[in-house]
Structure 1
């Protein structure tokens, strides 16, 4: 029997790849709680959806939450109804979004070029640092990225392989779902710009699409229908409730958090060149292929190949679009990543065996080995002040040896992979190293970091300290505190100022001083609380947390007075 008889079919290759992707992306689910900055916020909103039965208008504690539409949080709540476990449910939307993006990139590459190109494209996406890191987190971005990728998938199937009106309508509908997930789904419709240009210039690989105007209009209707799934019931609820609070919520979510946030960014200010290092370094190791793919894309453009023009032009449009506002984050351009992987996959087979490319991959694997071994070893030695400070802040048992051991182990795997596979099979060595990084991060680092990162330990101590009959109020709290508390807790607002929260909390705790406690950030005590009468709970998320009772308040001191104000809270 020859070795060729053991070769997998194209379908078997895809399912093997998909199984590997599932293991990498799903590893660690159930081993950690939500981590700041965004995960506890969204999970708390989802939990309150379950508890209140109101899935339409989200709340954070006692206040309305209007920073984001409720689509993602409703998905988390839905998965909780299926699993009954928040540690599982809060990560499932991102997991499914990641697997969905891999399938869409594979299928589009298969249809536009061949199954091998589709598999290379999906593999390139799975190997990219930003993709895996974000998919293994419970933020909105992977989900909105999936909807944008689905929209691009439908539009490109119609524009390049059509006419396929169902795919076109699906793409427009997915763009609408992206709008009610984060507001940016409309960006998928920018694909019309390079398509109209290519039609005008008669580029290659553009099928003749005939159909009445009503079919094209059906895309707009599909987009509006998706948006109306949320906005329709929301307007009805706001009108029937006739509440100024709901009116303010509508104004904030529709205007301030969308157009206002784009034109007048109030956070994450970055220079115009901010996205250049993202494309070069956060998209590693996919970006190692740029020296070979960029010339290939240029040749395809000279040959007027619309299969390259449409996705490449959309990527450029997205990066330019997010370059103009002052506020920038690396995840803003993540929707461009699947299409970059698609374009890389189309060319990867032609240069994957070239010695120069294999040497670049081998060098990157060696670099990872050196970095992990050096950083882990230096930290483990106890001679690195910043590493020692991290151990102190996190409260790691055993002095952080388990964490540094994880980093050294990854370095050792990378070194062994480089030695075993060498230059000739350097792609295998890189894949083995990346698998070790993500599996080690999920199965080894999650349990080590969870207690201090999620505030789980602090909230457990709080429950033990106030006893089973104690009632708890939260002042200057973060979402992870309310999410992980072991009993129903009273909050006094989240965006409300600390002195105002403290004044309301004082009234509440004085009503039943024998059983009520306040969980409070040390910086929020102000001048009206005797810190000597507080009880230290612990350190979490770079903050010190205390418990106080009614006797800690000074007589005749109003926390809302100038003397009772406190400093600003550090960012997550």
Structure 2
């Protein structure tokens, strides 16, 4: 390795010391800010609420969201959150631990796979490339399902690639099949790991270099299917048994929804997140920055490796393309859907980065990227701080950040200045150090600086705290047209009248509930659900959170003789959650 490359990517450390240093840095980046914020929308409060109700009810098998069954996702991720709560006793810590540990796990698997397929240096480069990617760190620091399912898919790929390229290793193969099954009961798409069979069989047929033939009886191959089914049965079997023992029709509806509508139905007839066919091109180019900066140099090298029939490049590269292609067909698309492809893409980049860094043009591109990022942050932060950006002013107003807006824009400016200084100091001699310093400043600042500023308004903690203070400790509270964060952060046992039910139906039930004890009961309600039945003059304003206006009403705020079903426009379309 040239002096330039060595100075750019390493110090005079032993391989073991390099690994320990890398994972110490990764731990600091990923775990920074743990305990400083509550769950933030869109998905985090939903999963945290389900997990909280698991602990409170003792039912970890068929989850609930408020009074309704929650069938959008299998419960494994929420059960992990509940498990970590039983260990820590702190929801602010427990709800993030599955994603944080999954992030570390993906880094570890990527490093070890690179080490085994090439060498220690490639493994370290690959893991570093993954840690530098925006989407990876952002998602690993959020409590969504995608980092956890990405970990299980990466673990499946790890086991399969060890068997397909370094085999025979039947234990690794069975481990990979079992991990794919765990991915299925996490989100359903864990089965995508088994697409690795396609390039493996192609490489085997064409006798590519480095592919393992893995001789053995058919029973060993079939045992992989048994391990896959055993993993899925860990949840599927007891769930089916529990549903069959229940007479209430909502349990049969739960089973049908989670097994069919939320899987094949969501894929073939997506009902949300509609995007054009080329949507993932933007994700691969921009959400995967700065990893994507390597594409102009990595792609020709991959092509030469494919011409040399290197199976180590063929298998992961074809699998990455198949995953992106799989999610391109349905109308519904989100950037996180293709996140499972990111670790293997980082592995492919890591296998070539040593030669890529020797290119002066690449080093110029990295230095320019860091400088441009710094200028963008500095200019935007300064303009927003001075009140000269209409969009920034609107965001501050919508989120109720008048007091913390200056602090937030100060964070943006400081990160921008650090990026500019790092770009000037590193230039083309040490651009990777400049990039690492800039990304560290960004993520540490986001975690320790921005979390406290944004938390109250983003999580709804502040508005629910004010609601509790306004009604007093002895009052009863119910929710209408609510979001998951409202129930999650309520300071007392709270009544709800369904989540996906139309707002007018919720308000009808809430009106009857209020009239049963008008002196003690209050309803926390979204302004948009008033219709003509709620007198705004008699509603008490609570506050603004999650870009919504929230109020408290008592029975005297309901107009006599008003039927919410007729007064609120739309029989079934007045609730966006339906």
| Structure 2 match to 1:58 | 63
**Contact 1:527-1:564 at 8 Å conserved across structures:** no
**Contact 2:501-2:575 at 8 Å conserved across structures:** no
Gaps of 5+ in 1: none
Specify which of 258, 265, 279 is matched with residue 263 of structure 2. Answer: 258
Q: Could you report, residue by residue, the CA deviation over 1:71-100 in whole angstroms, capped at 9, with x for unpaired residues?
A: 000000000000000000000000000000
| Structure 1 match to 2:304 | 299
**Contact 1:148-1:174 at 8 Å conserved across structures:** yes
| Structure 1 match to 2:203 | 198
Deviation (angstroms), 1:29: 0.8
Q: Could you report, residue by residue, the CA deviation over 1:369-428 in whole angstroms, capped at 9, with x for unpaired residues?
A: 110011101111112222112222222243611011000000010011112222110110
Q: Distance in 2 between matches of 1:369 and 1:262?
A: 40
Q: Distance in 1 between matches of 2:139 and 2:196?
A: 24
* DSSP 3-state at the match of 1:517: strand
The answer on 1:232 being equivalent to 2:208 is no
Q: Distance in 2 between matches of 1:312 and 1:421?
A: 32
| Structure 2 match to 1:86 | 91
Q: Distance in 1 between matches of 2:391 and 2:244?
A: 55
**Contact 1:558-1:564 at 8 Å conserved across structures:** no
Q: Could you report, residue by residue, the CA deviation over 1:482-516 in whole angstroms, capped at 9, with x for unpaired residues?
A: 00000000000000100000000011111110010
| Structure 2 match to 1:374 | 379
The answer on 1:348 being equivalent to 2:353 is yes
Alignment of 1:482-561 (within 5 A): 482-561=487-566
Deviation (angstroms), 1:242: 3.0
Alignment of 1:70-469 (within 5 A): 70-398=75-403, 400-469=405-474
Q: Could you report, residue by residue, the CA deviation over 1:112-138 in whole angstroms, capped at 9, with x for unpaired residues?
A: 000000000000000000000000000
Q: How many residues align?
A: 569
* DSSP 3-state at the match of 2:506: helix
**Contact 1:98-1:142 at 8 Å conserved across structures:** yes
Q: Could you report, residue by residue, the CA deviation over 1:306-336 in whole angstroms, capped at 9, with x for unpaired residues?
A: 0000000000101111111111110111111
**Contact 2:381-2:413 at 8 Å conserved across structures:** yes
**Contact 1:147-1:174 at 8 Å conserved across structures:** yes
Q: Distance in 1 between matches of 2:575 and 2:417?
A: 40
Q: TM-score, normalised by structure 2?
A: 0.97
CA distance change for structure 1 residues 563 and 360 in 2, over 3 Å: closer, same or farther?
Answer: closer
Q: Could you report, residue by residue, the CA deviation over 1:414-456 in whole angstroms, capped at 9, with x for unpaired residues?
A: 0111122221101100100000000000000000000000011
Q: Distance in 1 between matches of 2:403 and 2:530?
A: 33
* DSSP 3-state at the match of 1:120: helix
Specify which of 2, 5, 12 is matched with residue 17 of structure 2. Answer: 12
Q: Distance in 2 between matches of 1:542 and 1:501?
A: 21
Q: Could you report, residue by residue, the CA deviation over 1:496-537 in whole angstroms, capped at 9, with x for unpaired residues?
A: 100000000011111110010000000101111111100000
CA distance change for structure 1 residues 529 and 250 in 2, over 3 Å: closer, same or farther?
Answer: same
CA distance change for structure 1 residues 35 and 498 in 2, over 3 Å: closer, same or farther?
Answer: same
- Cα RMSD (Å) of the superposition? 1.5
Specify which of 11, 36, 44 is matched with residue 41 of structure 2. Answer: 36
* DSSP 3-state at the match of 1:181: coil
**Contact 2:503-2:575 at 8 Å conserved across structures:** no
**Contact 2:500-2:577 at 8 Å conserved across structures:** no
Deviation (angstroms), 1:209: 1.1
Q: Distance in 1 between matches of 2:423 and 2:42?
A: 36
Deviation (angstroms), 1:557: 1.2
Q: Distance in 1 between matches of 2:327 and 2:14?
A: 42
Q: Distance in 2 between matches of 1:393 and 1:256?
A: 35
The answer on 1:480 being equivalent to 2:485 is yes
Q: Distance in 2 between matches of 1:161 and 1:374?
A: 51
Q: Distance in 1 between matches of 2:57 and 2:459?
A: 24
Deviation (angstroms), 1:565: 5.9
Larger displacement relative to structure 2 (83-92 or 386-395): 386-395
Q: Distance in 2 between matches of 1:316 and 1:392?
A: 42
| Structure 2 match to 1:21 | 26
**Contact 1:559-1:565 at 8 Å conserved across structures:** no
Q: Distance in 1 between matches of 2:231 and 2:212?
A: 28
**Contact 1:526-1:565 at 8 Å conserved across structures:** no
Larger displacement relative to structure 2 (419-428 or 288-297): 419-428
| Structure 1 match to 2:3 | none
Deviation (angstroms), 1:353: 2.8
Q: Distance in 1 between matches of 2:38 and 2:137?
A: 18
**Contact 1:528-1:564 at 8 Å conserved across structures:** no
